[in-house]
């Protein structure tokens, strides 16, 4: 028993037919792309099954409603009610899960995770599903479709900025920079054109779902080795997409750019006699539109030459931002960066809200002020306890570091050692060595108070990286006899370099000694407990 009756309901058409139950599971997983038509659902299934150029995925479905169970059961997908009914002996799909990728020839063992939006209802009640679907349809149809970006990017936002900037400028001698206050007011003020909600609430409404879906696409790209299919620009989910982290960050900087531009222009405008608010808006809004478009289309070196518009559009299409491991390197002298650059597959580039003001209005991870306030309270309590403990240590005169045993992993303050675990793969042990070596290099650079690196220090850094690179290359060599014959001289050379660093920098001698001990043990891990 491996087939089910599948029913797919659009706004004005019902489709039904028989399909393999695993295909029905992929159809449910494809709802993570938020389709509203059978055509959009068919395109979204390409996330989990390679498209067949000769045959549509839902070719077995025909117009009409037939909801009688077949073979393994019944699956109903109502795209408008956002309802899924699963009554099947084959599987029990849920709002999140894993489906196996189909490569057009057969089902593979590559599992791909999916997450549906929170407003999807999953039910197993095949008897009452029509009543539930009709009620949910009425509720959803009654809600008008909101094009939030027309407000966020259009005249409503520009007019708000211009009006508030002009009003604040009347007190410019008291206010050095009104941008943060005006920006926060824009985000937190309820608006009729947003259904009575404030822009911040609308912006965060679907943020969690988009981030989970994009994370799933990153994992898919890594596992399949190719970029997943994005949403078509004509699709409903793209046109009325929620806001992801990248767009929230870009939007923050866009609003600030517009505010600064308007604020800097006001001294010149204020000199005009009898300047009315109407005159100002007539002149300023078209200018701000030009500033907006120029900013969105200007490549930014901080974003590796991407434009803000391209970053936003790609996120709306649910496509991760990728780069090569080499391009993702933050520090060419960092051994960890070098190891990551050598890894196969793409690296993924992501923004966060760290560059935004530390204020509730601009926080992108808490929906409500209550949860934001609670986290702040917990942090303040943590800091209070830490300061109290430190003050007591100072009173007792025990603020110096506690002496550590020889060979202790506490030689490292920034790195976490995997320890002497025999089951840990060699590759992870090598990465452990790389992390400690990276911390040692940071210590070498700190000699000048984070200033420019001296030629002697750079010489030590280059030798450490060269020796570590030779060591990695040798361990990855496919010729065991060659690796066995060269391992001792390569290891000895690496240890000699560590000795020279310890001689030049006695303050780093403990770390050099710890690394030397780890290198000696790397190829000869201890036996597991209980082994003889």
DSSP annotation of 51 reads P
- Specify if 199 maps to a domain: yes
* Dist. CA 184–CA 359, nearest whole Å: 9
Q: 3-class DSSP state for residue 109?
A: strand
Average pLDDT for 120-148: 92
Q: In the structure, what pLDDT confidence band is assigned to residue 174 with cuts at 50, 70 and 90?
A: low
- Residue 443 belongs to some domain of the structure: yes
Per the CB < 8 A criterion, the answer to whether 164 and 265 are in contact is: no
354 is a domain residue = no
The pLDDT of residue 432 is 84
Residue 530 lies in a domain: no
414 pLDDT higher than 70: no
Q: Which position has the higher pLDDT, 40 or 406?
A: 40
- Tokens 């078509």 map to which residue? 232
Q: Which of 310, 331, 352 is the last residue of a domain?
A: 331
Indicate whether 282 and 380 sit together in one domain. Answer: no
- Is 479 found in the same domain as 425? yes
Residue 228 counted as domain residue:
no
Same domain, 136 and 193: no
Q: pTM of this prediction? A: 0.81
pLDDT in tens, 59-105: 999 999 999 999 999 999 999 999 999 999 998 888 999 999 999 88
Helical (H) or strand (E) element with 83: strand 83-88
Indicate the average pLDDT of the chain. 87
- pLDDT confidence band for 156 (50 / 70 / 90): very high
Band of residue 450 on the pLDDT scale cut at 50, 70, 90:
very low
Q: CB neighbours of 18 closer than 8 A, spacing ≥ 6?
A: 3, 4, 5, 6, 60, 70, 71
Arithmetic mean of pLDDT, 173-198 = 90
pLDDT above 70 coverage of the chain, percent: 87
Q: How many domains does the chain contain in total?
A: 4
Residue 86 token pair: 């699963």
Question: Are 82 and 181 within one domain?
Answer: no
Q: Residue 404: is its pLDDT beyond 50?
A: no
Q: 156, exposed or middle or buried, with CB in 10 Å at 0-12, 13-18, 19+?
A: middle
If one counts every other C-beta atom within 10 angstroms of the C-beta of residue 219, the result is 16
Q: Does the residue 55 lie in any domain?
A: yes
3-state secondary structure of 273: coil
Domain that holds residue 501: 415-522
Residue 219 has pLDDT above 60, yes or no: yes
Is there a single domain that holds both residue 434 and residue 450? yes
pLDDT value at position 393?
A: 75
Q: Which residue has the higher pLDDT, 483 or 395?
A: 395
Q: Lowest mean pLDDT: which of 4-8, 194-198, 484-488?
A: 484-488
Rg (CA), the chain: 30
* 3-class state of residue 7 by DSSP: strand
157 with 61, same domain: the answer is: no
**11, 127: one domain:** yes
Q: Are 156 and 296 in the same domain?
A: yes
Average pLDDT over residues 158-185: 87
> Which run of H or E residues covers position 323?
strand 322-323
**Residue 38 in contact with residue 63, Cβ under 8 Å?**
no
Task: Return the higher-pLDDT residue of 187 and 438.
Answer: 187
Residue 286 and residue 279: Cα distance in Å, rounded?
Answer: 12
Percent of the chain predicted with pLDDT > 90: 60
**What does the block give as tokens for 155?**
């005249």
- Domain end among 272, 305, 331: 331
- Residue 52 three-state SS: strand
Inside any domain, residue 234: no
Domain co-membership, 157 together with 134:
no
- 348 forms beta bridges with 322
Question: Which stretch of 20-34, 156-170, 270-284, 443-457 has the lowest confidence by average pLDDT?
Answer: 443-457
Considering the domain architecture, whether residues 198 and 315 belong to the same structural domain is answered as yes
Q: Which tens digit of pLDDT belongs to each residue from 346-361?
A: 888 889 888 899 999 9
Residue 232 within a domain: no
pLDDT band, residue 273 (cuts 50/70/90): low
What is d(CA 452, CA 206) in angstroms, rounded to the nearest whole number?
A: 45
103 DSSP assignment: -
Same domain, 164 and 60: no
* Residues 82 and 161 both lie in one domain: no
Domain boundary among 91, 110, 142: 142
Q: What is the CATH number of the domain that holds 471?
A: 1.20.1440
């Amino acid at each position: 028993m491996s087939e089910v009756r599948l029913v797919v309901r659009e706004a004005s058409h019902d489709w039904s037919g028989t399909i393999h139950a695993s295909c029905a599971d992929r159809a449910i997983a494809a709802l993570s792309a938020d389709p509203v038509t059978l055509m959009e659902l068919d395109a979204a299934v390409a996330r989990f099954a390679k498209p067949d150029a000769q045959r549509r995925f839902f070719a077995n479905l025909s117009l009409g409603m037939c909801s009688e169970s077949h073979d393994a059961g019944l699956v109903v997908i109502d795209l408008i009610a956002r309802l899924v009914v699963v009554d099947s002996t084959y599987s029990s799909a849920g709002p999140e899960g894993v489906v196996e990728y189909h490569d057009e020839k057969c089902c593979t063992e590559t599992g791909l995770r999916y997450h549906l939006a929170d407003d999807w209802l999953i039910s197993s009640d095949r008897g009452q599903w029509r009543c539930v679907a009709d009620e949910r349809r009425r509720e959803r149809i009654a809600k008008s479709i909101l094009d939030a970006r027309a407000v966020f990017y259009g005249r409503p936002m520009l007019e708000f900025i211009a009006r508030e900037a002009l009003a604040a400028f009347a007190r410019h001698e008291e206010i050095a920079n009104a941008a943060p206050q005006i920006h926060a007011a824009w985000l937190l003020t309820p608006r009729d054109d947003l259904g009575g909600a404030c822009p911040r609430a609308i912006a965060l409404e679907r943020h969690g779902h988009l981030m989970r879906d994009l994370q799933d696409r990153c994992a898919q790209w890594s596992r399949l080795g190719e970029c997943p299919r994005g949403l078509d620009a004509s699709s409903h989910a793209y046109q009325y997409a929620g806001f992801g982290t990248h767009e929230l960050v870009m939007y923050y900087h866009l609003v600030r750019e517009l505010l600064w531009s308007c604020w800097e222009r006001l001294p010149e405008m204020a000199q005009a006699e009898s300047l009315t608010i109407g005159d100002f808006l007539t002149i300023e809004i078209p200018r701000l539109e030009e500033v907006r478009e120029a900013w969105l289309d200007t490549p930014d070196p901080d974003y590796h030459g991407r434009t803000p518009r391209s970053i936003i559009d790609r996120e709306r299409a649910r496509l991760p931002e990728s780069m090569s491991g080499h391009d993702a390197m933050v520090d060419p002298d960092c051994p960890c960066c070098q190891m990551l650059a050598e890894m196969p597959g793409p690296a993924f580039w992501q923004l966060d809200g760290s560059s935004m003001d530390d204020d509730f209005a601009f926080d992108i991870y808490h929906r409500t002020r209550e949860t934001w306030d609670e986290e702040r309270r917990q942090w303040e309590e943590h800091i209070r306890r830490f300061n109290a403990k430190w003050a007591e240590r100072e009173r007792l005169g025990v603020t110096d570091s506690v002496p550590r045993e020889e060979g202790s992993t506490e030689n490292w303050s920034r790195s976490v050692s995997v320890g002497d675990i025999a089951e840990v793969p060699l590759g992870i042990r090598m990465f452990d060595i790389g992390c400690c070596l990276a911390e040692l290099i940071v210590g070498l650079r700190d000699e000048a108070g984070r200033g420019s690196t001296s030629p002697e220090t750079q010489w030590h850094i280059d030798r450490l990286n060269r020796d570590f690179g030779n060591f990695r290359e040798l361990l990855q060599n496919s010729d065991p006899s060659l690796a066995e014959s060269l391992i001792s001289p390569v290891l000895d050379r690496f240890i000699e370099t560590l000795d020279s660093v310890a001689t030049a920098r006695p303050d780093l001698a403990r770390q050099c000694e710890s690394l030397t001990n780890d290198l000696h043990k790397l190829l000869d891990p201890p036996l597991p407990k209980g082994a003889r």
